[in-house]
Every structure is written in C-alpha cells, then in structure tokens.
Chain A
Amino acid sequence: MRYKVYGVRIAFLGLFAAAMWAHHSPSAEFDMSKKITLTGTLTKVDWINPHIKVSMDVKGEGGKVENWGLESNPPAWFRRVGVSRNDLAKAIGQTVKVEGVRSKDGSFYGYLQKIILPDGTSLELVSPNAAQEYGK
C-alpha cells in the first residue's frame, strides 16, 4: 500500500515528489509551483528527525536580511546516501545556494531539494532511477 501511494505521487508530482517522503504529503505544506532559489549565508544545520533543517540568512529586496529555514529528508536517509551533518555544517558561515519549494503559508520556509556548497559541490535529491536516466 505504501509503495502504491508512492507510485501515485511520483507519477503525478514528478521527481521532486519522490524526494519529499511521505511523512506528510508535499501538497499539505509546500506549494509545488513556488520554486525557490536562494543564495545566502548558512547559519545552522539541525540534524534532527523527522527532517533535517538548514537555516540561512538571505538578503532580500532592499538589502533586508531574511532568515530562511529549509527542511529536507530525514537524517537516516542522508546517512544512507553518504551525507553526514558535517558535509553541510562545515559550510556554516559561508555562502551556499539552495533550491527547493516554498511553504504554502508564505513564510521564509521551504523544502530543500538541492544545495551547492562553497567548494562547488552540489548535493541534489533525485528520483530513484536518476542514475539510469542520466546514463541514457
């Protein structure tokens, strides 16, 4: 049953849905049409369940600093794809770029799909079949 539901989500919501997990449906909290790309200073990495969370300061319009929070997949997920807290936390205080979708409530909150670290390394949540698709 669980995987049938996943299948439906993947089919209808695209690749990002696959990365959203089913802790809650993406449509319950995030607006899938509100893609966000943010560049700012990474200030905090919370390695907590059920979602890791990163915080960053982003200069908005007029130069005012916006304090953004972005959650992502659970720590156990990142652990099993080879990402530790330190892989992100080592960039605290430095500039990072993230991509994701924004919370429906319009707050400075989103779901992180991709992060580009100061050394240029990018980590991106992709579909289970992405490797095969990439090779085609």
Chain B
Amino acid sequence: MRLQLLCLLTAAALVPMIGSGAPAKASASGVKRTADGHPDLSGVWQFAIDLPPGALKRESNGSVSFKSFDPSARRPAPAPVPGALPFTAAPSYKPEFQAKVKELEAHENKTDEVFYCGKPGVPRIGSPRKIVQLPNEIIFFYEDISGDPYRIIPTDGRPHRAGANPTYYGDSVGHWEGDTLVVDVTNFVDSSWFGEDGYFHSDAMHVIERLWRNGENLAYQVTVEDPKVLTAPWTEAPRVIKPSNDPLEESPKCVETDGNKLTNNDHHVQR
C-alpha cells in the first residue's frame, strides 16, 4: 500500500514535468515572468499566415533594392526545439477516410472554405500575432485574410462552456504545466480543416496548443485529437516564432473572384 502510494505520488510529481514542454532549466534561464510567476508570453509576434514566397525588386532613380520577409513562423522549426513533444509529418486517418482526404486535397480549390475567404479556425490559423497575458485570462489576437479574430482564453481553472455553439475557433481554456501554457480547445464546427491537404475533422475534434518561451522567441506546438476519423492523436512539428516590431493592422476585406475562372483542379496551398 505504501509502495503504491509512493508510486502514485512519484507519478503525480512527474506528470507536470513530462507535460511541461519547457525544459526544467528554463525556470532559471532568465525568462521574463509575470507577477504570478508564469513565463510572460505577452507581446507582438511574427505573422504566421501563409504568404507567397518571393521578394520585391524596386528600381528608382537608378538604384536597385530588394525587400523580402521572414516566413519562419509558419514553418516547422528547422532545428530541435527544447521542450517539444515528439511529432510526425502527417495525421493518420482511419482507412475508411483516407480516400476522402485525397479527394478533398485533389479538389482543394473547390472544397476548401479557406480558398473562398473562409475562416481557417484553430489550429490552421497558426500562432497568435499578439498575446495579452492577464492574471486570469490570456487573449490571442490574429491577422488573417478572412478577418482578424481574437480568442479569450480563461486560465482561472474554469471548465469549458456548456451549451456554447460550435465555432471555427472553438471554446478554449488554458492552464499552466510548468512553464508551458496549455490551451485546450473543443466545440468546433465540422466544416473547417485542421490543415491543408484535405485534413477534415469531425465534431469530436479536440485541439491542444502548447506555447512556451524559447529564449526570446515563442515556441508553439499543436496536437489534434479526433477519435472519429484519426487512428491516433497527431502532434505537429513545433514552430518557433520571433518577436516582432510590426504592429497589427486591420486586414482588408476578402473578396474571392478567381473561383469561376479556374480551369482545372490544380490545388492551392493557402495555410
């Protein structure tokens, strides 16, 4: 009995360490903290929406200049990220849904709401552009082609809302596991995709976002669970988001007019 109790206590002590995401030394790494002792994730971060690659060449008065931008916040981190969970490149769909995923992907420019200015939802929208961290709630702000959503995430221990309508960004509650903010998101509409390439989901989708400090940067990693269509939870590659001095700006309205001009199913890859 005493041994069982010891095992239980040991396991209980390890769970936060395993799930914390951030390495133990992060606590003493000089990370800026809020008054309640949690790492301060607040600030403006690099944009994480997908944009075309490329640069602008400007020629004026005989001089030539080039300007490009850093798209890294949208990409998997190029190097291992301390505290990240193991991940795989793609979700594993149940055999009976694999053909549907391929079909959706093949006709993406017809089947994807995002192509027609639809909301990407969580987690497809990526990491937030701005975080406001308060003692009992954290607010995520975004810039997106479909609009500029926000999410108010309680961190005071309350449960998910009961009876709320399903939405693209779901119902979020947050808590801290060590130095990692864990955001638990449920209650999604079932028409969004959790990733391009036809990654559809059911009304049972459950998303877990993890955010922690990686030096001066923000680390972001997502796990998607959907027992109705996936064989196992899918954890995506972590992303590292740099701080930004680029203030948020209202996104122009979205008016998609290309759909009726497309002559084939060549798929787009928006986000």
Contacts and interface: CB of A to CB of B under 8 A. Distances in A.
A128 interface: yes
Interface in A89-114: 103-105, 109
Contacts of A14: none
B67 A28 contact: no
A12 interface: no
B52 A27 contact: no
B52 A22 contact: yes
A79 B51 CA distance: 11
Interface string A1-33: 111011000100000001111111101110000
Nearest to A80: B69
A24 B256 CA distance: 11
Query: Number of contact residues on A: which range applies?
Result: 35 or more
Contacts of B261: 29, 103-105, 109
A24 B66 contact: no
A24 B249 contact: no
B198 to A, nearest CB: 11
A2 B56 contact: no
B47 A128 contact: no
B106 interface: no
Given A24-B262, A48-B253, A121-B59, A77 B109 contact: no
B191 interface: no
A89 to B, nearest CB: 13
Given A24-B115, A47-B252, A126 B52 contact: no
Interface string B88-121: 0110000000000000000001000001010000
A62 interface: no
A28 B59 CA distance: 31
Contacts of A41: none
Query: Number of contact residues on B: which range applies?
Result: 35 or more
B252 A27 contact: no
A42 to B, nearest CB: 18
A48 B269 CA distance: 19
Contacts of B264: 27-28
A2 B50 contact: yes
A134 B256 CA distance: 35
Interface string B193-211: 0001100000000000000
Interface string B42-60: 0000010111111111111
Contact of A22 (B89, B249, B262, B270): B270
Contacts of B117: 49-50
Given A5-B269, A24-B262, A29-B262, A125 B67 contact: no
Contacts of B4: none
A124 B56 contact: yes
B173 to A, nearest CB: 30
B116 to A, nearest CB: 9
B149 to A, nearest CB: 14
Nearest to B197: A1
B266 A27 contact: yes
B36 interface: no
B263 interface: yes
Interface in A74-91: 74-83
Name the residue in A1, A28, A83 with the highest tally of chain B Cβ atoms < 10 Å from its Cβ: A28
B88 to A, nearest CB: 12
9 contacts: A25-B267, A28-B266, A76-B51, A77-B51, A122-B60, A126-B57, A127-B54, A127-B55, A134-B57
Complex A-B, nearest 3 residue pairs according to Cβ-Cβ distance, in ascending order: A21-B52, A25-B266, A81-B56
Given A24-B109, A81-B69, A121-B59, 16 more contacts: A1-B269, A2-B74, A21-B52, A48-B252, A73-B52, A80-B47, A103-B261, A104-B263, A105-B261, A121-B60, A122-B58, A124-B56, A124-B57, A125-B55, A127-B53, A134-B66
